[in-house]
């Protein structure tokens, strides 16, 4: 495992991006396997797999798809498209074919975008056997009549749906999960942005001096992969998970990160996102929970699990024309946005880590703050006896001390208290630490 990855350097992500981009990933198969192994060089991922044919809740793990080559040749013998040029050219999960057929019969097997005539679309057919080629619409419209040769060398074999995860333990075993998906072939924003940010975030959180919670990092093929993970882990998650985010589409031109709330109203992940969006609207937006679109949070938030897992994104499916096309490339994604997303999500994780429930350890009246250096010993406006190295106004600090002690009754977390005090939660963090050191406050894992 390489420990030299610099999560603050776009260059570090760039080399990794270039290695991952060309690989033809799918929800199973060697491309996915290889991609997970590449990430294992940077994160100690444990790779688990659910065997093809296994029942996974309402689904069955599909057979593994192996693709070796795919080529469409024209009547004149010239190659129309070749999988070797781009993994997008083949319908993902195509069955094998070796056929000669006239253009009219070929047409139902061709996929293109009339409105974006120069882009190759990304198309899948995981659960209905089919084959096809994807190409620019301009090229398709120029295809001459005649007989074409379609050759796809693929096969379906008993294999499995793999996913990988690793943990960073903390003071409590209460778990915060960050996940992203690996299953799209050569796409950048809507594929590699999530895993790259996940990696950066892992490196950052691994470097914290203290973690109040434990952290899990998960990479899985979308939908079926998160269901396979849930199949093995949902009891553990029901017991331990206190919050999480699915990472997706974190590159692209939009400047503001947005958090899609989890289905669980009033969960801490939701309230933290709402709090941040209120206090730093230029940095954070929120989207409501919506089961009709999105990524793996649709599975994590399904009513049988109802996990407090939201989703973080920047330039979102449907908001950019390059979505699910060959236009979603490294230039579109922009590695500087990846580094920025790691910065932002580290801030989110840190705020989450600090905003649990704290309990006043001297709740019978106000504790005697004076003998702990937290209250002016002489009651006169000209003499604040209270020594402090902070740049905050002493009266503001004392007010925060009193507000925290008053509301830290076990029924409210630090976000509630910050909202009541009308300040960003990060203003309270140093005061919480001081009160903890003074023995007046204790963190209580959820």
Residue ranges in contact with a second copy by CB under 8 A: 57-59, 111, 121, 123-125, 127-128, 130, 223, 226-227, 230, 234, 263, 291-292, 298-299, 301-306, 360, 362-368, 370-371, 377-380, 382, 385, 398-399, 402-403, 405-409
Name the residue nearer to a second copy (CB basis): 170 or 225: 225
Determine the Cα–Cα distance for residues 88 and 93; give it in Å rounded to an integer.
11
Name the residue nearer to a second copy (CB basis): 270 or 337: 270
- Angle value at C-alpha 389, between 385 and 395, nearest 5 degrees: 50
DSSP letter for each residue of 344-360: HHHHHHHHHHH-SEEEE
Least separation, in Å, of the C-beta of 299 and a second copy?
4
Name the residue nearer to a second copy (CB basis): 255 or 377: 377
Name the residue nearer to a second copy (CB basis): 377 or 444: 377
Determine the Cα–Cα distance for residues 169 and 217; give it in Å rounded to an integer.
11
Least separation, in Å, of the C-beta of 298 and a second copy?
6
Q: Is the dihedral of CA 179, 183, 185, 190 positive or negative?
A: negative
Q: How long, in residues, is the chain?
A: 446
- Exposure string for 54-82, b = 16+ CB within 10 A, e = fewer: eebeebebbbbbbbeebbbbebeeeebbb
Across-strand partners of 166? Answer: 217
Name the residue nearer to a second copy (CB basis): 98 or 380: 380
Map tokens 């688990």 to a residue. 48
Work out the number of other CB atoms within 10 angstroms of the CB of residue 154.
20
Least separation, in Å, of the C-beta of 317 and a second copy?
12
Least separation, in Å, of the C-beta of 14 and a second copy?
30
| H/E run at residue 73 | strand 64-73
- Phi, psi (degrees; rounded to nearest 5) at 344: -65, -45
Least separation, in Å, of the C-beta of 90 and a second copy?
14
Least separation, in Å, of the C-beta of 42 and a second copy?
29
Name the residue nearer to a second copy (CB basis): 283 or 372: 372
Q: What is the dihedral of CA 387, 389, 391, 394, to 10 degrees?
A: -20
Q: Which tokens belong to 262?
A: 């989890």
Name the residue nearer to a second copy (CB basis): 144 or 291: 291
Q: Please answer whether residues 119 and 327 qualify as being in contact, where contact means their C-beta atoms are separated by less than 8 angstroms.
A: yes
Name the residue nearer to a second copy (CB basis): 390 or 406: 406
Name the residue nearer to a second copy (CB basis): 4 or 304: 304
Least separation, in Å, of the C-beta of 311 and a second copy?
14
Q: Please answer whether residues 220 and 247 qualify as being in contact, where contact means their C-beta atoms are separated by less than 8 angstroms.
A: no
Least separation, in Å, of the C-beta of 8 and a second copy?
36
C-alpha Rg value of the chain to the nearest Å: 26
- Exposure string for 295-330, b = 16+ CB within 10 A, e = fewer: bbbbbbbbeebebbbbbbbbbbeeebebbbbbbbeb
Least separation, in Å, of the C-beta of 263 and a second copy?
7
Least separation, in Å, of the C-beta of 369 and a second copy?
9
How many helices and strands (H and E) does the chain possess?
13, 18
Name the residue nearer to a second copy (CB basis): 17 or 83: 83
For 341, residues 6+ apart whose C-beta sits below 8 A from its C-beta are: 193, 197, 200, 247, 250, 251, 257, 312, 314
Least separation, in Å, of the C-beta of 248 and a second copy?
16
Determine the Cα–Cα distance for residues 246 and 319; give it in Å rounded to an integer.
18
Name the residue nearer to a second copy (CB basis): 85 or 366: 366
């Amino acid at each position: 495992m390489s420990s030299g990855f610099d999560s603050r350097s776009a260059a570090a992500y760039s080399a990794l991006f270039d290695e991952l981009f060309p690989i033809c990933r799918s929800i199973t198969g060697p491309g996915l396997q290889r991609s997970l192994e590449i990430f294992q060089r940077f994160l100690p991922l444990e790779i688990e797999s659910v065997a093809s044919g296994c029942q996974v809740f309402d689904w069955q793990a599909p057979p593994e798809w192996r693709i070796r080559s795919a080529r469409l040749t024209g009547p004149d013998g010239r190659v129309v498209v070749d999988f070797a040029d781009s993994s997008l050219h083949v319908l993902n999960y195509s069955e094998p074919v070796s056929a000669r057929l006239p253009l009219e019969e070929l047409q139902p097997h061709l996929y293109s975008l009339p409105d974006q005539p120069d882009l190759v679309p990304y198309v899948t057919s995981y659960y209905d056997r089919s084959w096809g080629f994807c190409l620019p619409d301009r090229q398709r419209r120029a295809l001459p009549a005649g007989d074409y040769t379609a050759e796809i060398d693929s096969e379906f074999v008993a294999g499995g749906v793999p996913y990988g995860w690793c943990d960073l333990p903390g003071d409590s075993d209460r778990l915060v999960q960050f996940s992203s998906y690996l299953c799209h072939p050569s796409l950048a924003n809507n594929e590699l942005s999530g895993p790259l940010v996940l990696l950066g975030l892992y490196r950052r959180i691994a470097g914290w001096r203290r973690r109040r919670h434990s952290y899990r990092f998960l990479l899985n093929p979308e939908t079926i992969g998160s269901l396979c993970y849930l199949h093995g882990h949902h009891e553990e998650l029901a017991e331990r998970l206190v919050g999480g985010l699915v990472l997706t589409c974190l590159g692209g031109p939009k400047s503001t990160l947005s958090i899609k709330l989890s289905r669980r109203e009033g969960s801490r992940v939701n309230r933290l996102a709402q709090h941040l969006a209120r206090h730093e609207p230029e940095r954070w937006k929120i989207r409501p929970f919506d089961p009709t679109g999105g990524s793996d949070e649709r599975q994590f938030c399904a009513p049988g699990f109802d996990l407090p897992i939201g989703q973080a994104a920047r330039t979102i499916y449907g908001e950019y024309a390059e979505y699910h096309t060959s236009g979603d490339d490294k230039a579109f994604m922009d590695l500087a946005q990846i580094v920025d997303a790691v910065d932002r999500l580290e801030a989110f994780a840190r705020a989450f880590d600090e905003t649990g429930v704290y309990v006043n350890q001297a709740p019978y009246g106000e504790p005697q703050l004076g003998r702990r250096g937290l209250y002016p010993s002489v009651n006169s406006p000209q003499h604040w006896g209270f020594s402090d190295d902070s740049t905050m106004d002493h009266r503001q600090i004392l007010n925060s001390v009193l507000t925290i002690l008053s509301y830290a009754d076990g029924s409210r977390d630090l976000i509630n208290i910050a909202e009541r005090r009308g300040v960003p939660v990060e203003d309270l963090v140093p005061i919480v630490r001081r009160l903890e050191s003074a023995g007046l406050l204790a963190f209580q894992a959820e």
